[in-house]
């Protein structure tokens, strides 16, 4: 048995200082294929035995042995064509020299699910046994060539104790089951679709089922099941509705029909990511399945809808057509995120969804692209693939698909995806294959566009506009530059589709909208018939994921925030207006609040706008986003300026806020869009009332907290109170704990709210919460809700003069690494931002990274992230 994450070098037996680098250019087709596999599980939490029969076929003319990956497997037996063989794993792998073209290789191994704290492979979670195989977890279940370009037909037999594990699920269709004696039973599942091993799954446990059905476009009936603990059944209704809507949407929008007789979803409480698209058996982090009004916010409801759709859509974009190798991860993830974004936009408000997605991209992906871990959408190399499930691969990847959809137009894009699915059904392919299908289906040339896959870094666009009154002509000159990123310098100009319009200042009318394609380093575009100098509205709808520097006065931005007919551009103008005021305030120490207050008043009183949009528009940008606009992030200056702005807005418009707070109150809960929008606005408004300094603010927030008939308003009020120092703060936190401490997902909110608070003692509070009896390192949701939130709280994380916050996070990383290296590695990037801060802070952050890499027994996951962050 080998230590999972410090693989001894096969020859010397020593531990390499830095893990080996895997390169995209080194891809080679597999030596052996495995068209079929039969698996037999004797399930037991302490000791599970797995027998695997692999039908292997030599791929091409060569004499290389069969190499099977393995990790933490206790080999009990091996045979080739029925003859036992004596072999021992070398560096975890089994190497079998074989003579013929086809053989049957059988192995039996023992594994220990109850001791699997990494949550990769077969593990125990709250009495269940479940699996997670993407990206390289299958090798922790059995010996197998663990790579996505080997597609096999699976036959799975499971045997387990009947009382502990009455439900036995796997991929595909259930074909038989029966008694096994001694209180045990068995079930057989066969999956007719060949799949890569990362899509394998099984679940055993005492689960209840929300059962439903869906009739597909060709009239086939599919049995749907969402499996949870009995008491959680009522909270699965929203997920089931989302599933049915997703199935119908994929038929209508992409012509994609579901292909098996059953589709099952299981919710588990311990999960490294959001959810997993295993064929016919999706496994979810329970936070993306379980929602009800008392325990889940509207954001939680939306996340459930989006993630259910995402995993369902993978059945085509990921499963039927899968990835050749892990460098192609965005092939399935970028495309599937784009698909789930469009689905959610169709289910709710398209403009608000776009604003939310862009905010997410800017909060998560832009900083990644500007830091030491920047990598292209299709990375060139990795040490540990788990580190590449990133905002770049997912969210920037989705923006790349969105740009192609924009360039091809709706019909061309549909032709492209039809061709892609038809041509590559049942194959493991590359991003290049996808782009080629888009080119042929849409009839366009995407040669230069391909740079979006290979060049990292967020492009910057500078705009200058000159008005020539004599010829009534406007010349817009755009130039682009792409910053250097680790391992990449002197980049080529890219294809930037910029939806642009000009507005007449006097009439408020929009003159013209064009999709400008900026393809050169610098290009000019002319607009005729312009009698007066217009106002520029550029990158409307955020048509390209770039940073635009367009010189516009605060006055022009205020004009756009009130008149632009593109909702995203309108939101964006307001954001820019606020950012300008705040960054200038930080630089000069003099905060100019007037223009922002007036623009907010205009939006908040505009009867043509819905509440959800107003809530987005009038909210100040986050401290982190303001920091991203500065050369050197000044956490204290930003915090002070933003608080002062919030206070000024709160006080100047107090009657309006009071009025809106009453108008947005509802006698009962509904998920209707108008009511959701009202709740969103109500929480923003409450934060302005609190900021105004009004004497009754804490009482008002407590009243909202206490009287709420839903979690959106309750948590919103708790967040507002957590920022202050009032007596109501402690009362609300205690009441929240008392009411919800039995519900892990809600308790996460209790931890998170305190870690996100603007409170002078946040570092101490977080330290104490880390020792709370309800805190545990074995549950990723709990870890993220405390430390993930804390690291995202810019002011708190960077406030301690001696780097207390950095030390707290580094200590967490080191404590968590031996338990769950994937989750530990996800906590490293906040420290990797050290170059963005002053020398003193930066030095302290660096010192913590150095302390981490100096640890002798570091996982490959954390080693890669920490060493790259220092480079």
**Residue 72, interface with ligand PHE (CB under 6 A)?**
no
As given in the structure block, the two tokens for residue 740 are: 């919800």
Q: What's phi and psi for 397, nearest 5 deg?
A: -55, -40
Q: Report if residue 275 touches ligand PHE, rule: CB under 6 A.
A: yes
Residue 787 binds which of ligand PHE, Zn ion, none (CB < 5-8 A, kind-dependent): none
Q: Does 286 help bind ligand PHE (rule: CB under 6 A)?
A: no
Would you say 682 and 661 are in contact if contact means Cβ atoms under 8 Å apart?
yes
Question: Which does residue 413 touch among ligand PHE, Zn ion, none (CB within 5 to 8 A, set by kind)?
Answer: none
Beta-strand ranges (E) seen in 519-674 are: 522-528, 535-538, 547-549
What stretch of H or E contains 53?
A: strand 48-58
Catalytic choice (311, 333, 713, 728): 311
Our CB check for ligand PHE shows the closer of 389 and 449 to be: 389
Which are the contacts of 647, defined by CB distance < 8 A and separation ≥ 6? 691, 692, 693
Dihedral, CA of residue 592, residue 595, residue 599 and residue 601, to nearest 10: 80
Of 22 and 462, which has the nearer Cβ to ligand PHE? 22
Q: Identify the residue among 132, 170, 171, 865 touching ligand PHE (CB under 6 A).
A: 132
Size, binding site for ligand PHE by CB under 6 A:
11
Please give the Cα distance from 338 to 310 (Å, whole number).
9
Please tell me whether residue 333 binds ligand PHE under the rule CB under 6 A: yes
Would you say 325 and 431 are in contact if contact means Cβ atoms under 8 Å apart? Answer: no
Q: Which listed range, 14-22, 274-282, 522-530, 845-853, lies at the site for ligand PHE (CB under 6 A)?
A: 274-282
146 binds ligand PHE (CB under 6 A): no
Kindly report each contact of residues 289-293 with a partner whose C-beta sits within 8 Å and lies 24 or more positions away, as own/partner.
Answer: 289/226, 289/228, 289/235, 289/236, 289/239, 289/265, 290/228, 290/232, 290/235, 290/236, 290/239, 290/745, 291/235, 291/238, 291/239, 292/234, 292/235, 293/669, 293/709, 293/710, 293/711
Q: Is 616 a catalytic residue?
A: no
Q: Which of 42, 93, 157, 310 binds ligand PHE (CB under 6 A)?
A: 310
First to last CA, the chain: 33
Residue 130 binds ligand PHE, judged by CB under 6 A: no
Interacting residue with ligand PHE among 191, 232, 311, 848 (CB under 6 A): 311
* Binding piece for ligand PHE, criterion CB under 6 A, among 121-129, 217-225, 268-276, 704-712: 268-276
If the CB atoms of residues 480 and 865 are measured against ligand PHE, the closer one turns out to be 865
- Under rule CB under 6 A, residue 273 binds ligand PHE: yes
What single DSSP character describes residue 477?
Answer: E
Closest CA to 5 of 598, 595, 860, 704: 860
CA pair distance 433, 424, nearest whole angstrom? 8
CA 421, distance to chain mean position in Å, is: 24
- Encoded one letter per residue, x for contact with Zn ion by CB under 5 A and - for no contact, window 306-335 reads ---------------------------x--
Shortest approach of Zn ion to residue 826 CB, angstroms?
16
Write the DSSP assignment of 203-226 as a string of letters: EEE--EEEEEEEE-TTS-EEEEEE
Minimum CB–partner distance for residue 314 and ligand PHE (Å): 6
389 binds, among Zn ion, ligand PHE, none (CB under 5 to 8 A by kind): ligand PHE
C-beta of 121: minimal distance to ligand PHE in Å? 11
Compute the least distance from the CB of residue 199 to Zn ion, in Å.
Answer: 12
How many chain residues touch Zn ion (CB under 5 A)?
2
Q: Does 285 bind ligand PHE (CB under 6 A)?
A: no
Closest residue to ligand PHE in the complex (CB)? 273
Q: What is the DSSP letter of 495?
A: -
With beta carbons less than 8 A apart as the criterion, state whether 251 and 260 touch.
Answer: no
Q: How far is the CB of 738 from ligand PHE (least distance, A)?
A: 34
- Asked whether the beta carbons of 240 and 210 are under 8 A apart, the reply is yes
Q: CB–CB of 192/173 below 8 Å?
A: yes
* Least distance in angstroms from the C-beta of 373 to ligand PHE: 17
Burial of 693 (0-12, 13-18, 19+ CB in 10 A): exposed
276 near ligand PHE, judged by CB under 6 A = yes
Candidates 388, 389, 559, 787; binder of ligand PHE (CB under 6 A) is 389
Query: Within 13 A of 184's CA, how many CA atoms are on the CB side?
Result: 12
Task: Please state the closest distance from residue 249 (CB atom) to ligand PHE, in A.
Answer: 17
- Which neighbouring-strand residues pair with 205? 167
Which residues sit at the interface with ligand PHE, rule CB under 6 A? 132, 134, 272-273, 275-277, 310-311, 333, 389
- Show which residues are catalytic: 311
Site residues, Zn ion (CB under 5 A): 333, 336
């Amino acid at each position: 048995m080998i230590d999972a994450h410090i693989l001894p070098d096969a020859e010397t037996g020593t531990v390499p200082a830095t893990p080996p680098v895997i390169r995209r250019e080194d891809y080679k087709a597999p030596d052996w294929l495995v068209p079929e596999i039969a698996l037999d599980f004797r399930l037991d939490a302490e000791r599970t035995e797995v027998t695997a029969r692999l039908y292997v076929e030599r791929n091409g003319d060569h004499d290389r042995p069969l190499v099977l990956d393995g990790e933490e497997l206790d080999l009990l037996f091996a045979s080739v064509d029925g003859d036992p063989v004596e072999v021992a794993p070398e560096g975890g792998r089994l190497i079998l020299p074989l003579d013929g073209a086809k053989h049957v290789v059988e192995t039996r191994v023992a594994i220990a699910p109850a001791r699997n704290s990494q949550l990769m492979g077969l593990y125990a979670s709250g009495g269940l046994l479940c699996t997670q195989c993407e990206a390289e977890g299958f090798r922790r279940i059995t010996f197998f060539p663990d790579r996505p370009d080997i597609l096999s037909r699976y036959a799975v037999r499971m045997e387990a104790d009947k009382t502990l594990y009455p439900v036995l699920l796997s991929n595909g269709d259930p074909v038989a089951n029966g008694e096994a004696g001694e209180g045990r039973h068995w079930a057989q599942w066969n999956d007719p679709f060949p799949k890569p091993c990362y899509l394998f799954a099984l679940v055993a446990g005492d689960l209840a089922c929300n059962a439903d059905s869906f009739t597909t476009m060709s009239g086939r009936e599919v049995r749907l099941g969402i499996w949870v603990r009995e008491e959680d059944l009522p909270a699965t209704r929203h997920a089931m509705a989302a599933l049915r809507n997703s199935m119908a949407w994929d038929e209508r929008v992409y012509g994609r029909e579901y292909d098996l007789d059953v589709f099952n979803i299981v919710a588990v409480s311990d999960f490294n990511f959001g959810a997993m698209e295993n064929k016919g058996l999706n496994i979810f982090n329970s936070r993306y399945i379980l929602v009800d009004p008392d325990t889940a916010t509207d954001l939680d409801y939306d996340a459930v809808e989006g993630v259910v759709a995402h995993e369902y859509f993978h059945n085509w974009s990921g499963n039927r057509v899968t990835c050749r190798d892990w460098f192609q991860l965005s092939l399935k993830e970028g495309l599937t995120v784009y698909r789930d974004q469009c689905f959610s936009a169709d289910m709710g408000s398209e403009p608000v969804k776009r604003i939310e997605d862009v905010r997410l991209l800017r909060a998560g992906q832009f900083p990644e692209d500007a830091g030491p871990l920047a990598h292209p959408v299709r990375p060139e190399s990795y040490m540990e693939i788990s580190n590449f499930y990133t905002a770049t691969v997912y969210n920037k990847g989705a923006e790349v698909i969105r740009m192609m959809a924009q360039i091809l137009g709706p019909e061309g894009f549909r032709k492209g995806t039809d061709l892609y699915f038809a041509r590559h059904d049942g194959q493991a392919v590359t991003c290049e294959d996808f782009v080629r299908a888009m080119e042929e289906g849409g009839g366009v040339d995407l040669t230069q566009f391909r740079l979006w896959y290979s060049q990292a870094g967020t492009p910057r666009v500078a705009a200058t506009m000159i008005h020539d009154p004599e010829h009534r002509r406007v010349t817009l000159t755009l130039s682009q530059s792409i910053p250097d990123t680790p391992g990449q310098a002197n980049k080529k100009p890219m294809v930037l589709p910029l939806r642009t319009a000009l507005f007449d200042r006097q009439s408020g009318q929009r003159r013209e909208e064009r999709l400008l394609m900026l393809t050169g380093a610098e290009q000019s575009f002319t607009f005729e018939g312009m009698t007066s100098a217009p106002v520029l509205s550029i990158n409307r709808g955020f048509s390209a994921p770039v940073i635009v520097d367009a010189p516009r006065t605060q006055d022009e931005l205020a004009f756009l925030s009130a008149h632009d007919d593109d909702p995203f551009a309108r939101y964006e103008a307001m954001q820019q207006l606020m950012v300008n005021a705040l960054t200038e305030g930080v630089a000069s120490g003099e905060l100019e609040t007037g223009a922002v207050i007036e623009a907010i008043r205009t939006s908040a009183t505009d009867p043509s706008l819905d509440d959800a949009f107003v809530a987005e528009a009038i909210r100040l940008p986050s401290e982190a986003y303001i920091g991203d606009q500065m050369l050197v992030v000044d956490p204290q200056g930003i915090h002070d300026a933003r608080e002062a702005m919030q206070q000024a807005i709160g006080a100047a418009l107090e009657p309006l806020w009071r009025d809106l707070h009453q108008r947005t109150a509802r006698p009962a809960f509904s998920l209707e869009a108008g009511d959701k929008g009202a709740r969103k606005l109500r929480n923003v408004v409450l934060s302005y009332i609190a900021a105004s300094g009004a004497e009754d603010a804490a009482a008002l927030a407590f009243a909202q907290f206490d009287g709420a008939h839903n979690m959106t308003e309750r948590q919103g009020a708790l967040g507002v109170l957590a920022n202050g120092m009032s007596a109501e703060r402690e009362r609300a936190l205690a009441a929240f704990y008392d009411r919800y401490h039995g519900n892990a997902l809600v308790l996460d909110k209790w931890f998170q709210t305190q870690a996100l608070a603007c409170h002078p003692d946040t570092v101490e509070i977080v330290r104490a919460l880390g020792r709370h009896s309800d805190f545990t390192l074995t549950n990723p949701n709990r870890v993220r809700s405390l430390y993930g939130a804390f690291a995202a709280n810019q002011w708190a994380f960077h406030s301690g003069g001696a780097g207390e916050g950095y030390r707290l996070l580094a200590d967490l990383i080191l404590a968590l690494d031996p338990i769950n290296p994937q989750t530990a590695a996800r906590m490293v990037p906040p420290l990797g931002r050290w170059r963005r801060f002053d020398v003193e802070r930066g030095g302290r952050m660096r010192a913590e990274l150095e302390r981490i890499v100096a640890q002798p027994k570091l996982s490959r996951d954390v080693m890669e992230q920490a060493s790259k962050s220092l480079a």
